[in-house]
Amino acid sequence: MPAGRTVSIRVRRFDPAAGGRRLWQAYDVDAGPMMSVLDALFWVLENEDPTLAFRYSCRAGMCGSCAMVINGREGLACARRLERLRAPVTVEPLRSLPVIKDLLVDLRPFFEKYRAVDPFYIGQAASVFDPASEPAVLPRGDAAREIVDRQIDCIACGACYSACPIVSIVPEFLGPAALNRAYTVAADARDAAGVERLHRVTADGGVFACHSVGNCVTVCPVGVDPLLSIQLLRKGAVHR
Amino acid sequence: MTSPWETLRCDVLILGSGGAGLMAALHAYDAEPRLRIVVASKGLIGKSGCTRLMQGGFNAALDPGDSPERHFRDTILGGQFLNDQELAWALVSGAPEVIRRLETRIGVFFDRRPDGRIHQKAFAGQSFDRTVHRGDLTGIEIMSRLHDQLFARDIRRLDETRAVALLHDRPGGRVAGALLLRQATGEFILAQARAVVLATGGGPRMYTFSAPSLEKTGDGYAMAYRAGCDLMDMEMMQFHPTGLLAGASRLSGMVLEEGLRGAGAHLLNAQGERFMARYDPERMERATRDVVARASYLEIMAGRGTAAGGVLLDASHLGAGFVLDNFPGMARRCAEVGYDLARAPVPVTPTAHFHMGGVRIDPDCRTAMPGLLVAGEDAGGVHGANRLGGNGVAESCVFGMRAGLTAAELCASAGEAAPDTAEAEAAYRAATAPLGRPVVSRESGDNPFAIRDALQRTMWERVGLVRDDPGLRRALDTIGALEERISRAGAPADPRANLTWQQVLDVQNLLVAARLTATAARYRTETRGSHARRDYPARDDARWLVNIHQAAGREPWPEPVRLSRLAPGDAERVAPA
């Protein structure tokens, strides 16, 4: 291990067994080169505190399991390098979601809202068996696909949901990720769904509850612009 | 005593939520929507597993100039004739339909050619450009859309709920369910199912450098082995040649995708030489993964590696614009740790990537154990001694679908059978044993993280890219000592969201997978595909066109490969013999 340096991190802890109090706990992490916040949390777990709880999977910015609030701002713990963060580095669980333990939040409310927009593609009845049949022929760079292609890479990490002030004060607001998905699937030229999905996103808690604050755009770890999707839905840019 | 678990009854229990698990769930449901289907996943459903991490793409013979026969040939040649040829045929013949299904039913959208049809790119070891993709982060699109489709169906999800054991019925003749553990609450579930689909993904995380997501710890292999299944080809561990080296970060080992080499990127040693010229002058960097990974390893061992212990992947001569347009995900990943993929060489190392071995299945994913189906990386035989890039996600999706359809079929005929509660109790006691034992420090003893590190070092040094008998024997001794140590490891008493406890269970499973790997590696005294023996450097078709099988309670045994469609030296044959 190359010679490291010590980086202080302060973790917002919550132990359901200890009366539900949320306390800050500080650790001095032996930080090697290129270590991320996620690496630092593992260091704590493995060397200092076997009770620390957090969520992880891919460690490469692809799965969205480790979104949390780092130095006051949402991000993926695996994608934020200690070297580029002001110390002490503060780490808190996502906002507007129930905390299970420490940095582990219950994402069910987030996914319930995601589900509420009917996020699934509905295909035409094309044959999948006929080798001659070709899925939709859509030229590369087709204008209809251009925005969808940019917005479709959402990894449903919950960062935008946590950063959105409307989510925190309007409980029925569907939030940026769900509305972004509603746009990308509705604007998919191949999708065969009717107008129901659009009715849902323009009803209470839908796109008109958004105040265009734009935190969702700032914090998105994969460069999606949920606000643009919301604006396009508001303008009725998707026709059925 | 009151049961330490809640009970759950379903028709189809799917363990794992990568490509194989979700394809199984969706297709079982669509075949018979009245089925009670449960997906249980160690991580968040749709997020965990490796399909999501898949970058390069999905091989399917779509172009009129290509054919499944040609894809088959490439797959068998890549696998050096160790593949189960009926499984390989099921893969290549099913892949085009699955691509059409993913596009027209699931909503995946792959990259297009200028004429609007699906684009296919070049990958190593293939005679045709047949790799379907979405940019260089194809897995995210496939997994996100599969996950969306779950919401359109009445399928019960158990997120962050790992299986700790497969359970038999009381006579023991079939699998009748599994004991599950909800990691957030520490509660157990005794799940009874008419069909269980094992699709947890293999995941060679028992190596110092490895590519898979962190939660993939050989759980499927370990559960299947304990349940009496037959595992084959476990010596066949694929090392990907280009794992990113990222200092002290766990990002190390994450793959920089093969398409870079397909597009013409070079591999250089510390002296700036394109060293592939010494190992495969004809194919150079586009040789199959086994060849390129081993060449990199030998360069590093010969002292021609970089200070960081790797070699260099150089795409800069392709032009910064080209690299940024075609590999934006890879460029971002490199930039995150301070490398500029478009303009300068990036340090890489071979990385343990994919386990070709696994549970023996038939083309419908059936195992020798009635009630148990296996799909994806948990299964063995499809890829033989080396997997082609782009065949992994194809396997997960093709066989996941087949497992779902088979499960629906089984449910039409299979009766209900209750899992043996004595077996469940034993599994429960074993799983909870570490709780409340002291957690000792890494330096002073049986700490699960220290045991994992020791296992990874041993596997990397002795069961890695080049092996020999003395090293494998020492590895097996070390594994034995680590098995002892993990049996004493402790975790905090509160079972809720207890990562240390989960780590103990993980390392137990990693050790099973490691022992199976090292044992088979010692058994095969030749060099073939991903398995290279310093003491037996040649491929020996006269003796070793066999698969090595292992099952609990018996010695490993060889079975001849059935060359039903193609034999070494055949020019054309592919139709079934």
In a domain, residue B33? The reply is no
The CATH number of residue B269's host domain is: 3.90.700.10
Query: Taking CB atoms and an 8 Å limit, are B250 and A38 in contact across chains?
Result: yes
In a domain, residue B546? The reply is no
Is it true that the peptide bond before A88 is cis, omega within 30 degrees of 0? yes
Cβ neighbours of B254 in A, within 8 Å: 59-60
3-state DSSP assignment of residue B397? helix
How far, in Å, CA of B513 to CA of B419, rounded? 25
pLDDT for A17:
78
**Nearest by Cα to B245 from B139, B355, B345, B140:** B345
Cβ neighbours of B103 in A, within 8 Å: 135-136
Q: Are B565 and B574 in contact (CB under 8 A)?
A: yes
User: Could you report the per-residue pLDDT of A126-170, keeping only the tens digit for each?
Assistant: 666 666 667 888 877 777 788 898 899 999 999 999 999 999 999
Query: Taking CB atoms and an 8 Å limit, are A61 and B107 in contact across chains?
Result: no
User: Could you report the per-residue pLDDT of A161-214, keeping only the tens digit for each?
Assistant: 999 999 999 999 999 999 999 999 999 988 888 788 888 899 999 999 999 999
Q: Which domain holds residue B302?
A: 242-351
In a domain, residue B310? The reply is yes
Instruction: Mutate one of B119, B205, B499, B500 to test the A interface: name it (highest A CB count within 10 A).
Output: B499
Query: Taking CB atoms and an 8 Å limit, are A34 and B52 in contact across chains?
Result: no
User: Could you report the per-residue pLDDT of B391-441, keeping only the tens digit for each?
Assistant: 999 999 999 999 999 999 999 997 889 999 999 999 999 999 999 999 999
Surface-to-core class of residue A213, CB atoms within 10 Å of its CB (0-12 exposed, 13-18 middle, 19+ buried):
middle
Cβ neighbours of A151 in B, within 8 Å: none
Sequence-distant (6+) residues with CB within 8 A of A69 are A75, A90, A91, A92, A93, A94, A95, A162
Of B43, B116, B491, nearest to A138 by CB-CB distance is: B116
pLDDT for A2:
43
pLDDT for A204:
93
Total domains, chain B: 2
Nearest CA in chain A to B211: A58
In a domain, residue B192? The reply is no
Q: What residue ranges define each of the domains in chain A, with the CATH number in brackets? A: 5-105 (3.10.20.30), 108-234 (1.10.1060.10)
Residue finishing a domain among B307, B329, B351: B351
**CA-CA-CA-CA dihedral for B143, B146, B148, B150, to nearest 10:** -130
pLDDT for A131:
60
The residues facing A23 across adjacent strands are A13
How far, in Å, CA of B93 to CA of B86, rounded? 10
Q: Is the pLDDT of residue A4 over 90?
A: no
Residue type, B423: E
Q: Is the pLDDT of residue A3 over 60?
A: no
Strand pairing class (B372-374; B187-198)? parallel
pLDDT for B258:
85
**Nearest by Cα to B502 from B511, B493, B513, B491:** B491
pLDDT for B428:
98
Nearest-CA distance B260 → chain A (Å) = 18
How far, in Å, CA of A134 to CA of A137, rounded? 7
The CATH number of residue B505's host domain is: 1.20.58.100
Nearest CA in chain A to B215: A57
In a domain, residue B379? The reply is no
Residue type, B295: A
Residue finishing a domain among B508, B524, B539: B539
In a domain, residue B417? The reply is no
Q: Are B413 and B203 in contact (CB under 8 A)?
A: no
Cβ neighbours of A35 in B, within 8 Å: 247-249
Residues (pLDDT < 70) of chain B are: 1-2, 576-577
Nearest CA in chain B to A151: B141
Which band of pLDDT confidence, cut at 50, 70 and 90, is reported for residue A1? very low
3-state DSSP assignment of residue A6? strand
